Amino acid sequence: MPQNVYVFPEAIIQQMKQYYAGQLQSAPAGALFRAKTANAVITAYKSGKVLFQGKNPAAEAEQWADNTSEVQTKPKKASEKSVYTPPDTLPASSHIGSDEAGTGDYFGPITTAAVFVKKEQIELLKELGVRDSKNLSDASIRQIAQDILKLELPYSLLVLRNDKYNQLQKRGWSQGKMKAMLHHQAISYVLEKINAADSEGTLIDQFCEPSVFKRHIAAENKQLHDKTYFMTKAESASIAVAAASIIARTSFLKEMEQLSQRAGITLPKGASGKVDQAASRLIKSHGQAHLNSYAKTHFANTKKALDRL
Ligand code: MG
């Protein structure tokens, strides 16, 4: 019987348990949970090991493997370099950065931005306060985004709204594949706007192994642009990635406001219990089909919202 073994961080295992909430079976001794899907039997252990066994374990494992870069079959040395590791000089050179927002939020779209920053603009962007958006409040993110846009940097912003997201998901696209295609597309648009020779390379805020990213876009007949690099937490190393994360985040916030207005209730960010509650209200007032335009319906929140009714 084919099987795949991965080691996941605890947070992902908790997410998995939620995700498979409807398909749980009794777990063997020492296991955190066991679930059965059409593809595989999934068993998670306290050590972080997760076993996928059955007809098509790779298909089941893939959706998780794509959503984290920490998945590993054997421990990797932090110092390990590949052709996708950015050269040390990249962050201080003219380069493109890309990042996305909204992937872990039940409500709202995925927004993805790519930005080209010239070497001479790096200092100014730093002065404007451009840095890792995770350390900034929503209000300052919006302010800084306005300042960035005034500089007229070549950038591209893509919004994958919920209807389309759910359609792709039902067609079998993992979220990892959607993200890979969004990054690729946004970067392509920026490259069309600039003289590619002016850029020392492109840095993608890494969300999956580069080989997985390549496979996703290859499935849609795309290939990596020259000098594409990947790095986790890239927004703290690269001002271009930080700018992209701010633009993507600002767009996500705006989209959430518009969606909330349309829904007539404030749609919370994230995927917590508050989210289940809001989804439940939305189903009550508008019907379940309506969720399609507001939420990433394959998240466990949908089931929890229905259970609340
Ligand atoms: Mg990111």
* Nearest by Cα to 102 from 277, 274, 250, 292: 250
CA of 231 to the centre of ligand 1 (A): 10
Helix axes 300-308, 273-286, angle to 10 degrees: 60
CA of 26 to the centre of ligand 1 (A): 36
Res 69: pLDDT: 44
CA of 175 to the centre of ligand 1 (A): 13
From the number of C-beta atoms within 10 Å of its C-beta (0-12, 13-18, 19+), residue 73 rates as exposed
Block residue for tokens 């992937």: 103
Q: What does the CA dihedral 243, 244, 249, 252 come to, rounded to 10 degrees? A: 140
CA of 92 to the centre of ligand 1 (A): 20
Average pLDDT by consecutive 10-residue portion of the chain (309 residues)?
83 84 88 90 91 84 64 51 94 98 97 98 96 88 95 97 97 96 98 97 96 96 97 96 97 98 96 96 94 96 95
Q: DSSP for 3-35?
A: EEEEE--HHHHHHHHHHTGGGEEPPPTTEEEEE
Phi/psi for 292 (5° steps) reads -50, -35
Task: Using alpha carbons only, give the angle 230, 234, 236 rounded to the nearest 5 degrees.
Answer: 165
User: How far is the C-alpha of 43 from the C-alpha of 61, rounded, in Å?
Assistant: 11
User: How far is the C-alpha of 271 from the C-alpha of 263, rounded, in Å?
Assistant: 17
Res 66: pLDDT: 62
CA of 238 to the centre of ligand 1 (A): 12
CA of 68 to the centre of ligand 1 (A): 11
Res 79: pLDDT: 58
Tokens of 53: 């066994």
* Nearest by Cα to 57 from 77, 73, 71, 37: 37
Bridge partners, 230 (sequence order): 204
Q: State which residues have CB under 5 angstroms from ligand 1, the bound ion.
A: 99, 205
User: How far is the C-alpha of 267 from the C-alpha of 180, rounded, in Å?
Assistant: 26
Q: What share of the chain is helix, strand, coil (3-state, %, to 5)?
A: 50, 20, 35
From the number of C-beta atoms within 10 Å of its C-beta (0-12, 13-18, 19+), residue 309 rates as exposed
CA of 206 to the centre of ligand 1 (A): 7
Residue 36: which H helix or E strand, with range?
strand 31-36
Please say whether the beta carbons of 35 and 23 come within 8 A: yes
CA 135 to chain centre: 18
Tokens of 76: 């990797």
Res 150: pLDDT: 94
User: How far is the C-alpha of 130 from the C-alpha of 138, rounded, in Å?
Assistant: 13
